[in-house]
Amino acid sequence: MGWAEFHLPNILRDLLAALVIGAITGVLLYGYLAYSEASLPALSPRASAISGVAGVIIALALWQVAKYLNTLFPWRRSISVRMTMGVLVSWLVLAVLVVAPFHLFAVDESELTIKLLIILGIAGLVFNVLYFAVYTYYHFSKTQLQYIENERQQLGLQLEALRSQLSPHFLFNCLNTISSLLYKDTGRAERFIRQLAKAYNHTLESRDEPVIPLTKELEFVEAYRYLLSVRFQDQVDVEVKLSDDALASVVPPMTVQLLVENAVKHNVISPEEKLYISIHQQRKGLVISNNKTKKPDRTTSFR
């Protein structure tokens, strides 16, 4: 396996980066303190190793604290609250993990302690700003990928809907119905043509919209229901029972109509076996249900 084919998972990659940065920061921080404070031992290989290990431990601690704070104070709820709590908690963690060992194993000077606390406060602020930047970028990228995936699925649904509506079989049945109505009932034939045009117009108008009002979708379903009632001589009954709250919601275009059409496609409709389709709500969901009749011998499915 070549290097170009090897990819660490994002979480491992970020953790590895945090450990490396923690080790380097630990060494640099001790080097600065040793250079500016005569009371501290000079930076040596042993001191570098100890400060590097301490930096790694501190980085792991800050990593876990940040993950825990994400559950208590999510960024999406309040950035200012999350940032404030992150800086304060990080500063406390750094004070416990850095200042205490300094007093136990190194020196006990108030001026050095104050300087160290100030540096750690700045380090905590920088850590949280960088963490927020990485966190935001990661979730923005994830949201963009999800948006692209949803858009791709939406285009697929629209394509299936167009195929279904513009299928030769559908047109053949509609034109046959119009042809028979022209000699029997010209008024009904005219209304059938208008409803057919309305159905096609809805298909063209909504094909670029991600969601549409449910009321508009039901207008399309009503036009389609009329075509079915004429074609099957009132042997298809579509009942709508929805509250005002449900009617105020939005749905992807043509989803309700496709489910109604699916019920018609996969059931034999006759005077002895009528098809009843119900559009109603259940808790916070929209339900399209139907009774089952005999299955047709051949059915073309668009999956």
Average pLDDT, the chain: 77
Query: What is the tens place of the pLDDT at every residue in 246-291?
Result: 888 998 888 888 888 888 888 888 888 899 999 998 887 899 999 9
Average pLDDT over residues 109-115: 67
The 10s digit of each residue's pLDDT in 66-98 is 878 888 888 777 778 888 888 888 878 777 777
What pLDDT shows up at residue 289? Answer: 93
pLDDT at 118 over 90: no
| pLDDT beyond 60 at 176 | yes
Token pair 């039901």 is found at 218
* Angle (nearest 5°) at CA 254 between 284 and 227: 115
Q: Percent of the chain at pLDDT above 70? A: 78
Phi, psi (deg, nearest 5) at residue 250: -125, 155
Cα end-to-end distance, the chain, whole Å: 38
Using CB atoms within 10 A of its CB, is residue 245 exposed (0-12), middle (13-18) or buried (19+)?
exposed
- Chain segment 4-32, per-residue pLDDT in tens: 334 445 556 666 776 777 777 777 776 76
Distance CA 275, CA 235 (A): 6
pLDDT given for residue 11 in this prediction? 58
In the chain, the percentage of residues whose pLDDT exceeds 90 is: 6
Q: Give the pLDDT score at 240.
A: 92
Average pLDDT over residues 167-193: 81
pLDDT at residue 271 in the model: 85
- Quick check: 245 pLDDT over 80? yes
CA separation for the pair 222, 220 (Å, rounded): 5
pTM above 0.85, yes or no: no
